[in-house]
Amino acid sequence: MITVKTGKVNNIMQALEFQFLYFLQSLHTPWLDRIMTSITLLGEVGIIWIIIGVLLLCLKKTRRIGICVLASLVFGTLIGNGILKNLIARDRPCWIDPSVKLLIANQTDYSFPSGHTLASVESAVSIWLYNRKWGTAALILAFLIGFSRLYLFVHFPSDVVAAAILGVMVAWAVHKAVGAKLEKKGI
């Protein structure tokens, strides 16, 4: 067992993740706290990505991108939040170490994978697969949303990394399956 800030951790990996999270806690300033809480709010229930997906869906020129963004969000939610979170049932860092003051409401669902990161990456990659310029901007926002989850002490780094990998896989699969069918239909 490895001792970290407030107790014992069962493995070395989790201890290293806590060390990184505690390092991020040392970076807190009032202005950075406001920025990170605002950024994380953009990813709440995937709202920014749902809005972007619907807007893209409304224009004929970007309809295929919008459909792929929204389809990725549906599949990612089913896989990440519906299956993996409940199957793995990993406690959040803020549940294990409640001594760290949270700047957002304590989350009620499990930690792995990060739903904010999953929705952000699958949406951003869906956009990037069709439009590199917009997709790059979306990927930067996705990165910031994922980072905000670490800064705010509600996810472990491995939750965010796994969600990003899963997000890329979901977006790519949707692009191949749905995007190809839409292209045949001229959408």
CA nearest to 66, candidates 170, 178, 186, 184: 178
User: pLDDT at position 10, please?
Assistant: 63
Residue 63 sits at φ, ψ, to 5 deg, of -55, -45
Percent of residues, the chain, with pLDDT higher than 90: 79
The pLDDT score that the predictor gives to residue 12 is 85
Q: What is the pLDDT of residues 148-161, one digit of tens each?
A: 999 999 999 999 99
pLDDT at 7: 52
Q: How far apart are CA 21 and CA 156, in angstroms?
A: 7
What's the whole-number mean pLDDT along residues 62-87? 95
Output DSSP code: residue 6. T
Local confidence band at 36 (pLDDT 50, 70, 90 cut-offs):
very high
Chain-centre distance for alpha carbon 119: 5
Q: Distance (Å, rounded) from C-alpha 136 to C-alpha 49?
A: 14
Which region among 1-10, 41-50, 151-160, 164-173 has the lowest average model confidence (pLDDT)?
1-10
Find, among 1, 161, 6, 2, the residue nearest to 93 by Cα: 6
pLDDT in the model for residue 1: 36
pLDDT, tens digit, 9 for 90 and up, residues 117-176? 999 999 999 999 999 999 999 999 999 999 999 999 999 999 999 999 999 999 999 999
Confidence of residue 2 (pLDDT cuts 50, 70, 90): very low
Rounded Cα–Cα distance for residues 99 and 94 (Å): 8
